[in-house]
Amino acid sequence: MRTSMKNRWKKVCAFVVAFALVLPLVCGQQMTVKAATPEPYLTLVAVDSSGVDLTGGTSLEIGDTVSLELRATAELEALGAFSSIEAYLDYDTEKFKQVTTSDFIPAQDWAVYWDVESNKVNISTTTDSAFSDGDVICTLKLTVKSAVNGSTTVEWNGDPVDPDKNIVITQSDNASRQAEAVNVTCTVSNTVTEASRVFELSVPSSLTFYTDTQGREKEIVVPIKIENGSIYCGFRFGFTYNTSLVTYTGYELSSSAGAYVQSMTVSDVPNSGGLYTHNVALVSSKDINLAGEFIYLKFKTSSAVATGTAPTGGNITITLYDVVNASKAPMTFKLGGSTSTTTAGTAIETNISLNYTQRQVHYGDVNGDDKINLIDALMIMQHYNGVRTLSSVEGAGEVGSEMERADVNGSGTVTLVDALLIMKKYNGEIADFPIRG
Who contacts 161 (Cβ-Cβ below 8 Å, separation ≥6)?
Answer: none
Amino acid type, 321: Y
Who contacts 207 (Cβ-Cβ below 8 Å, separation ≥6)?
Answer: 220, 222, 316, 352, 353, 354, 355
3-state percent breakdown (helix, strand, coil) of the chain, nearest 5: 20, 40, 40
22 CA to centre of own chain: 65
Q: Which residue has the higher pLDDT, 17 or 381?
A: 381
Of the candidates 192, 147, 194, 146, the residue with the CA atom closest to the CA atom of residue 343: 194
If you count them, how many residues does the chain have?
Answer: 437
Q: How far apart are CA 127 and CA 411, in angstroms?
A: 75
Q: How far apart are CA 28 and CA 321, in angstroms?
A: 75
Instruction: Determine how β-strand 348-359 pairs with β-strand 219-229.
Output: unpaired
Q: How far apart are CA 94 and CA 142, in angstroms?
A: 12
pLDDT reported for residue 17: 46
pLDDT reported for residue 256: 79
Residue 55 clears pLDDT 80, i.e. is over it: no
Of the candidates 284, 197, 202, the residue with the CA atom closest to the CA atom of residue 237: 202
pLDDT, tens digit, 9 for 90 and up, residues 133-189: 999 999 999 888 776 667 788 898 888 778 778 898 988 765 556 788 888 888 887
Residue 8 clears pLDDT 80, i.e. is over it: no
Q: How far apart are CA 181 and CA 204, in angstroms?
A: 61
Q: Which residues pair with 167 in a beta bridge?
A: 181
This prediction has a pTM of 0.54
Who contacts 363 (Cβ-Cβ below 8 Å, separation ≥6)?
Answer: 400, 405, 407, 408, 433, 435, 436
pLDDT, tens digit, 9 for 90 and up, residues 320-352: 887 777 666 666 777 865 555 544 457 788 888
pLDDT, tens digit, 9 for 90 and up, residues 233-284: 788 888 998 887 888 888 888 887 877 777 778 888 877 777 888 888 877 7
Q: How far apart are CA 382 and CA 27, in angstroms?
A: 88
pLDDT reported for residue 324: 75
Q: How far apart are CA 191 and CA 327, in angstroms?
A: 11
Of the candidates 99, 92, 70, 105, the residue with the CA atom closest to the CA atom of residue 184: 70
Of the candidates 108, 65, 112, 67, the residue with the CA atom closest to the CA atom of residue 87: 112
In the chain, what are the domains? 29-191 (2.60.40.680), 195-359 (2.60.40.680), 374-436 (1.10.1330.10)
Of the candidates 215, 213, 224, 216, the residue with the CA atom closest to the CA atom of residue 316: 224
H or E stretch at 225: strand 219-229
Q: How far apart are CA 277 and CA 300, in angstroms?
A: 15
Question: What is the average pLDDT value for the chain, to the nearest integer?
Answer: 79
Cβ atoms 312, 211 nearer than 8 A: no
pLDDT reported for residue 361: 79
Phi, psi of 350 (to 5 degrees): -145, 155
pLDDT reported for residue 381: 96
| DSSP SS3 for 164 | coil
H or E stretch at 303: helix 303-307
